[in-house]
A and B are shown apart, each in its own frame.
Chain A
Amino acid sequence: MRAYKPKDDVQKKPYYTDRFWVAPQVPKQPVESDEIFAADLAALQEKFEVLDAYIQVEQMVVYINPEDNFEVLKFFKEELTYDQLSELSAIDWLAQKGEFEIFYQMLSMNKRKRVRIKMFIKEDQAIESVEKLFRSADWSEREMYDMFGVKVNNHPFMKRILMPYDWQGFPLRKTYPLQGDEFAQWYEVDKIYGKEARDIIGPELRDTARIDRYDSERFARLGHEVPKGAPVTDDDPINPQEYQEDEGVFMIKKLKKESSVIVDDPQR
Chain B
Amino acid sequence: MAQHKVNFTQDGGLPVALTTIDKVVNWGRSNSLWALTYGLACCGIEMMASGASRYDFDRFGTIFRASPRQADVMIVAGTLTKKHAEFIKRLYDQMTEPRWVISMGSCANTGGMFNTYATVQGCDRVIPVDLYLPGCAPRPETLQYGVMLLQKKIRSQKASRAKKPKRLM
Chain A contact residues, CB within 8 Å of chain B? 163-164, 171, 176-181, 184-185, 187-189, 191-193, 197, 200-201, 204-206, 208, 243-245, 248-251
Give the interface SS of chain A, mostly helix, strand, loop or mixed.
Answer: loop
Whether A187 pairs with B148 at a CB distance below 8 angstroms is no
Whether A205 pairs with B122 at a CB distance below 8 angstroms is yes
**Most chain A CB within a 10 A radius of its CB, from B113, B125, B156:** B125
Q: How far is the CB of B6 from chain A (nearest CB, A)?
A: 19
Segment at the A interface, from B38-46, B51-59, B63-71, B83-91: B83-91
Q: How far is the CB of B22 from chain A (nearest CB, A)?
A: 10
Tell whether A249 pairs with B27 under 8 Å between CB atoms, given A179-B117, A208-B106: yes
**Contacts of B112 on A, CB cut-off 8 Å?**
208
Q: Which of B71-122 contact A (CB under 8 A)?
A: 82-83, 85-86, 89, 106, 110-113, 115-118, 120-122
Q: How far is the CB of A171 from chain B (nearest CB, A)?
A: 6
Tell whether A192 pairs with B115 under 8 Å between CB atoms, given A184-B82, A187-B82: no
Whether B125 pairs with A171 at a CB distance below 8 angstroms is no
Whether B121 pairs with A251 at a CB distance below 8 angstroms is no
Whether B152 pairs with A248 at a CB distance below 8 angstroms is yes
**Contacts of B19 on A, CB cut-off 8 Å?**
250
B168 at the interface (CB under 8 A from A): yes
Q: Which of A180, A188, A205, A206 contacts B86 (CB 8 A)?
A: A188
Give the interface SS of chain B, mostly helix, strand, loop or mixed.
Answer: loop
Whether B115 pairs with A206 at a CB distance below 8 angstroms is yes
Which residue of chain B lies nearest to A250 when distances are taken between CB atoms in the complex?
Answer: B27
**Contacts of A185 on B, CB cut-off 8 Å?**
117
**Contacts of B48 on A, CB cut-off 8 Å?**
none
**Contacts of B156 on A, CB cut-off 8 Å?**
245
Q: How far is the CB of A115 from chain B (nearest CB, A)?
A: 33
Range class of the B interface residue count: 20 to 34
- 20 A/B residue pairs, CB under 8 Å, sorted by A: A163-B118, A164-B83, A178-B115, A179-B115, A187-B82, A187-B85, A191-B85, A192-B89, A193-B168, A197-B169, A201-B168, A206-B115, A208-B121, A243-B148, A243-B152, A245-B156, A248-B155, A250-B17, A251-B17, A251-B27
B23 at the interface (CB under 8 A from A): yes
Q: How far is the CA of A255 from the CA of B19 in the complex (A)?
A: 20
**Contacts of B24 on A, CB cut-off 8 Å?**
250
**Contacts of B49 on A, CB cut-off 8 Å?**
none
Q: How far is the CA of A244 from the CA of B153 in the complex (A)?
A: 11
Q: How far is the CB of B93 from chain A (nearest CB, A)?
A: 10
B159 at the interface (CB under 8 A from A): no
Which residue of chain B lies nearest to A1 when distances are taken between CB atoms in the complex?
Answer: B115
Whether A204 pairs with B117 at a CB distance below 8 angstroms is no
**Contacts of B106 on A, CB cut-off 8 Å?**
208
Q: How far is the CB of A262 from chain B (nearest CB, A)?
A: 21
Q: How far is the CA of A208 from the CA of B132 in the complex (A)?
A: 14
Tell whether A188 pairs with B117 under 8 Å between CB atoms, given A164-B82, A204-B125, A245-B152: no
**Contacts of B148 on A, CB cut-off 8 Å?**
243
Q: How far is the CB of B30 from chain A (nearest CB, A)?
A: 8
Whether A188 pairs with B85 at a CB distance below 8 angstroms is yes
Whether A192 pairs with B126 at a CB distance below 8 angstroms is yes
Q: How far is the CB of B24 from chain A (nearest CB, A)?
A: 6
Q: How far is the CB of A203 from chain B (nearest CB, A)?
A: 9
**Contacts of A245 on B, CB cut-off 8 Å?**
152, 155-156
Q: How far is the CB of A61 from chain B (nearest CB, A)?
A: 32
Q: How far is the CA of A176 from the CA of B83 in the complex (A)?
A: 18
Whether B169 pairs with A188 at a CB distance below 8 angstroms is no
Q: 20 more A-B contacts (CB under 8 A) besides A179-B116, A208-B111, A249-B30?
A: A163-B83, A164-B82, A171-B118, A177-B117, A179-B115, A180-B117, A188-B86, A188-B126, A191-B85, A192-B126, A193-B169, A201-B168, A201-B169, A204-B121, A206-B111, A208-B115, A243-B148, A250-B17, A250-B23, A251-B17
Q: How far is the CA of A243 from the CA of B24 in the complex (A)?
A: 18
